[in-house]
Chains A and B, each alone.
Chain A
Amino acid sequence: MMDLLTTHYNYVASILLFGIGLYVVMGSPNLVKKIIGMNIFQVGIFLFFVTTGYVDGGAPPVVGHGEETFVSPLPHVLILTAIVVGVSLTAVALALVIRIYDGYGSLDEDVIKEVQVDD
């Protein structure tokens, strides 16, 4: 167990981030906190990809760098794209939150439900 923590701490961290993120999305009634949770969840996945792309003692696949072990840059490039997607999602989500706050005067899901019932 300790061995796993010391050698694979990066994987453990990414799984913790999934868990925390998912818990916040589902558990928090506050819409902005849900967005934060969604971001944490995604960062967990980014970390997972980046960490799998890491090779001990590997060199970048560029002429004149290193000799034997090279690192595939693909996982990192993929995550660059995924980060852009994540930023766009956050932007759209925040824009929606502004609309919701204008309409209901609250960001608390439970309060919004009450307002909807009163309508």
Chain B
Amino acid sequence: MTDALVLLVVVPIAASLFPVALGGRFERIGWFVAAAMGLVHLGLSATVAARVLEGGSISYAVGGFEPPFGIELVADGVSAPLLVLVSLSTLGVLAYARRAGPHSNAFYSELALLTAGISGVFATADVFNLYVFLEITGLATYALVASGRSPRAALASLKYLFVGTIGASLYLLGVGYLYIMTGTLNMADLTGAVASVGYTSPAILTSFGLIVTGLLVKVAVFPLHTWQPGAYAESPDTVSAYISALVSTAAAYALVRIIYAVYTTEFLDAVPLAGDALVALASVSIVVGAVLAVMQSDLKRMLAYSSVSQFGLVVAAIGLANETALVGAVVHLVGHAVMKGGLFLTVGVFATGLGVRTVEDFAGLAAKAPVSSAAFAVLAFSMVGIPPAVGFVGKWNIVVGAVEAGAWPVAAVVVVSTLLTLAYFGRVIERMYFTAPEPEADAVSTDGGNDTVEVSFGMRAVVVVSAVAAVVLGVLGSDLIAVVQPVLEVYF
């Protein structure tokens, strides 16, 4: 049943047609189509994951054209858990969107398209196919960001479109250089082909620079992050949760695949500047992202800058070319998706239920919404990296990897970033639990309360489940590492 792998992409694309096609007749069919798609997707990704756990990686030749000539899809110990993560995030976000919306059918079509794009990025083993899936992901994300009705959302989306397109085009240009030098687009085939051309060949170096820069734009690492805070902050809560959990994660995964499967660690050894530059850029990103997060008053913007910082950690770990650090990077990718998606949804619950959106408003919130506040606190502490939550497992491996690689500055930066993370989450939690609500602020929130929707059970449940998942994943961290490690080991 390797067909399940290609169906992970085909089913969402097919599903994306129905909400628009049937929307004229049935007003609210979008959610049901998307929910059915999510369940099928979960079944398929579970099938793929079961197969991978049983017998290592599985591969599918699209259209019956054998690789390296045809397009190949591959699921292994790294991509299979990420595919399951896509299904679960989709279902979680849908459970939340049932009440919170957006309710338009077009929204659910775009959501299905995004699911297809991200699944494709995780599954593909072909560098040009990866470009196509990155662009499907991008297009769906631009549309989703703009599904907030305000012109601000449209402007944020257009800004994202310009930056994202240029990033993807740079990636495409890099693929062009690779193809000219090697004559192949299949990742496994490229490994040997790049080596035989020579790692220090100017064209190979150019392709590396272009591809990595293009992907770093999509990952949103400082200074290429400018599109990201606007896009996360202006889109509806449902959308910010979904894209913060998966879109940058997909790009970061692509970065891991390209650097380690196509260029390999020998390239990083032959061209030390490549890894050093990545690590340096990422370290700056970790610190600047966290500092900018501390400065924000809008909660969603704070979480957005926090992502810039957290993805800095992942990219630094990728650049270190150390096995432990790379395992940490993948674990942190999964963990970040759960934590950040959950945090955005929690902030969404506060905003819908109580109309609070800024750090100021959070005063005394724990008394009004004890369950959601507890979930927020758990997720925030997990993001800081307090054991046993999943944030700790990822960061710990990255720090240990940095020490093993002898990169003491990186280890120091990660530790400092943990303190900064504590700084920006700490001030929110302090307000929630230990500051009495100001009577004036209270009046404002009841004013704003007119257009708030009642928070549904589904919305609360998703928030609690994500908090629990962050802790459970942390406890099961060694099992996750056991699944991921055999795949990453091969690269070293």
Is A112 in contact with chain B by the CB < 8 A criterion? yes
For A33-51 the 0/1 string (1 means CB < 8 A from B) is 0100010011001001100
Classify chain A: how many residues form its interface, as a range: 20 to 34
List of A residues within 8 angstroms of B179 by Cβ = 52, 74-75, 78
Given contacts A38-B162, A100-B158, A103-B150, contact A89 B173 (CB under 8 A): no
Option from A52, A81, A103 in Cβ contact (under 8 Å) with B151: A103
List of B residues within 8 angstroms of A65 by Cβ = none
Classify chain B: how many residues form its interface, as a range: 20 to 34
For B151-192 the 0/1 string (1 means CB < 8 A from A) is 110110110011001100100110010011001010000000
List of B residues within 8 angstroms of A81 by Cβ = 128, 132
**When the two chains form their complex, are residues A45 and B172 in contact, meaning their CB atoms are under 8 A apart?**
yes
B152 to chain A, nearest CB (A): 7
Option from A45, A82, A85, A96 in Cβ contact (under 8 Å) with B157: A96
B65 to chain A, nearest CB (A): 12
Option from B166, B176, B183 in Cβ contact (under 8 Å) with A49: B176
Instruction: Give the residue among A52, A75, A85, A88 with the most B Cβ atoms within 10 A.
Output: A85
Is A92 in contact with chain B by the CB < 8 A criterion? yes
Is A67 in contact with chain B by the CB < 8 A criterion? no
Q: Give A100's nearest chain B residue, CB to CB.
A: B154
**When the two chains form their complex, are residues B176 and A93 in contact, meaning their CB atoms are under 8 A apart?**
no
B74 to chain A, nearest CB (A): 20
**When the two chains form their complex, are residues B154 and A99 in contact, meaning their CB atoms are under 8 A apart?**
yes
List of A residues within 8 angstroms of B154 by Cβ = 96, 99-100, 103
Q: Give B146's nearest chain A residue, CB to CB.
A: A96
**When the two chains form their complex, are residues B158 and A89 in contact, meaning their CB atoms are under 8 A apart?**
no
- If A52-B176, A78-B179, A96-B146 are given as contacts, then 11 extra A-B residue pairs at C-beta distance below 8 Å, sorted by A number, are A41-B169, A45-B172, A75-B179, A81-B132, A92-B139, A93-B161, A96-B158, A97-B158, A99-B146, A103-B154, A116-B152
Using CB atoms and an 8 Å cutoff, list the residues of chain A in contact with chain B.
Answer: 22, 25, 31, 34, 38, 41-42, 45, 48-49, 52, 72, 74-75, 78, 81-82, 85, 88-89, 92-93, 96-97, 99-100, 102-104, 112, 116
